[in-house]
Amino acid sequence: MNQLTNFQMRDVDALLHPTTNLAAHRQIGPLVLDRAEGVHVWDTSGKKYIEGLAGLWCTGLGYGNEELVEAAREQMSKLSFTHLFGGRSHEPAIELAEKLKELVPSPTSKIFFTSSGSEANDTQIKLAWYYNNARGKPKKKKIIGRIRGYHGVTVAAASLTGLPIFHADFDIPLPGFIHADCPHHYRHAEAGETEEDFATRMADNLEQLIVREDPETIAAMIAEPIQGAGGVIVPPKTYFEKIQTVLQKYDIRLIADEVICGFGRTGNWFGSQTYDIEPDTISMAKAITSAYMPLGAVTVSEPVYEALVSESEKLGIFAHGFTYSGHPVASAVAIKTLEIYERINIVEHVRKVSPVFLNRLSQLSDHPLVGETRGQGLICGIELVQNKTTKASFEAKHGVGAKVAQFAQDEGLISRAVGGDTLGLCPPLVIQEDQINEAFDAMERALNRGLNWVKQDLGISISE
């Protein structure tokens, strides 16, 4: 067992960590961070890292932004808390809802606030069920997720999620949640199949699934523009155009999960704009406050809103909500975050620096460990393979992705192994070109260390 520091021992004794190998954690302890500024964080020993995953895909403005700190302080001093239940309100929630209505690329009548992406997606499920009850279609309740999709870990959101590890031994998914194909061309295309042909097959398979389940039992489909935690999977060309045609044919609403892609990440305000998606409703969170405060949101179209009004008139109340829905401090921070994004033109900045990011990414394709690189804007995945020709993956027991992520951390770059042996990078949106190069230099060193480790310690031959 490694000698743990005092911080690490206290952590192991007191904390239960999310999405962590708990047995290994007891042996190696956590990385304990102490402070942060810009795109960098420091641990308790003083070591400096580039935060290459923006925390968890979320700190768009980086760390230590004093304007956000001051926005929170001012709001705490003025009105530290009130709620939105029973018709109460406050100016920050009103102003934020107005601003989001201007920004979102979907027809929106109202905004409903949550504290997280998981809560936002749970709300989407409840609204879909409630809406179909209101319009006299009580059987139209099933929700389609996608294999390798990620939508949160609350009971209903985890049922939307299409990653088996989030289901195992939790008795999830619940009945009524089904999963369509993962649209990963590199992994699932047939020999000679172009991206467009693959997208056509994905849409055909989706239609067959809908017909098999009965369209009159399906309320909605949820999709991330780019599948994040499932492996940073970029959609193939024409994919969303073709699946939307299928959904519209069968009166199935499309929920865009913009929790990771929203607010500039892909080079547009929303990933839906990048991929010409026309969602019926949007879930958002994370970068909405640059992660300085917990906040999520759901868009509500006019037809859905009118159904909610009708039902609340019938039942006496719209009986859904959270204590912290539209929390005034979180709302104030979000307003300031959006103001800063616009003032510094964050979308144009992402477009300016992303060619450097994506060029350095593409250069990694030639590395012996790398099967595919994929990305858009300032988000990417680096998939590790044992054989570049056959695309054979490493056995899961070896944990190659996690090991290379550890090497990257040793080299001063925080990344994350997602979707198996794919390394995800998603730095703060304010990252500069020299910092991008610094990050990829560290990743190259980590891959080289990983290659040596695979060959020498695991005794695995790598076929290029």
pLDDT given for residue 109 in this prediction: 98
Percent above pLDDT 70 for the chain: 99
Name the CA dihedral angle for 58, 64, 66, 70, rounded to a multiple of 10 degrees: 70
Quick: pLDDT tens for 436-445. 999 999 999 9
Which amino acid, 157?
A: A
Quick: pLDDT tens for 407-430. 999 999 999 999 889 999 999 999
Contacts for 59 with CB less than 8 Å, ≥ 6 apart: 51, 287, 290, 291, 292, 428
DSSP secondary structure, 19-44, as one string:
TS-HHHHHHH----EEEEEBTEEEET
pLDDT given for residue 2 in this prediction: 67
CB crowding 19-28: b at 16 or more within 10 Å, else e = eeeeeebeee
Distance CA 31, CA 231 (A): 23
Quick: pLDDT tens for 53-66. 999 999 999 999 99
| Planar angle of CA 320, 57, 31, nearest 5 degrees | 110
Quick: pLDDT tens for 273-285. 999 999 999 999 9
Task: Please provide residue 413's backbone torsions phi and psi, each rounded to the nearest 5 degrees.
Answer: -130, 125
Decide if pLDDT at 247 tops 70: yes
Quick: pLDDT tens for 30-55. 999 999 999 999 999 999 999 999 99
pLDDT given for residue 50 in this prediction: 98
pLDDT given for residue 73 in this prediction: 98
Name the CA dihedral angle for 191, 194, 195, 197, rounded to a multiple of 10 degrees: -90
pTM above 0.75, yes or no: yes
Task: Please provide residue 248's backbone torsions phi and psi, each rounded to the nearest 5 degrees.
Answer: -65, -35
Quick: pLDDT tens for 328-351. 999 999 999 999 999 999 999 999
Distance CA 264, CA 336 (A): 15
Token pair of 262, please? 């929203």
463 pLDDT tier (thresholds 50, 70, 90):
confident
pLDDT given for residue 464 in this prediction: 67
Do residues 31 and 42 touch, judged by C-beta distance below 8 A?
A: no
Strand-by-strand arrangement of the 33-37 sheet: 33-37, 40-43, 48-51, 413-414
Do residues 296 and 334 touch, judged by C-beta distance below 8 A?
A: no
Query: Can you tell me whether residue 463 is helix, strand or coil?
Result: strand
Task: Please provide residue 253's backbone torsions phi and psi, each rounded to the nearest 5 degrees.
Answer: -75, 145
Contacts for 127 with CB less than 8 Å, ≥ 6 apart: 281, 298, 300, 304, 308, 320
Quick: pLDDT tens for 364-410. 999 999 999 999 999 999 999 999 999 999 999 999 999 999 999 99
Distance CA 285, CA 361 (A): 27
pLDDT given for residue 183 in this prediction: 98
Decide if pLDDT at 462 tops 80: yes
Query: Can you tell me whether residue 438 is helix, strand or coil?
Result: helix
Token pair of 122, please? 């749970």
Distance CA 243, CA 8 (A): 48
Quick: pLDDT tens for 269-319. 999 999 999 999 999 999 999 999 999 999 999 999 999 999 999 999 999
pLDDT given for residue 399 in this prediction: 94
Query: Can you tell me whether residue 134 is helix, strand or coil?
Result: helix
Segment 452-460 shows an average pLDDT of: 94
391-397 contact pairs (CB < 8 A, 24+): 391/186, 391/187, 393/420, 393/421, 394/421, 394/454, 394/460, 396/420
Percent above pLDDT 90 for the chain: 97
Do residues 29 and 11 touch, judged by C-beta distance below 8 A?
A: yes
User: What is the average pLDDT score of the chain?
Assistant: 96
Inter-CA distances, 374 with 20, 291, 353, Å? 25, 25, 16
Quick: pLDDT tens for 142-177. 999 999 999 999 999 999 999 999 999 999 999 999
Segment 198-212 shows an average pLDDT of: 98
Decide if pLDDT at 1 tops 60: no
- Give all domains of the chain, ordered by start, each with its CATH number: 31-64+346-456 (3.90.1150.10), 67-343 (3.40.640.10)
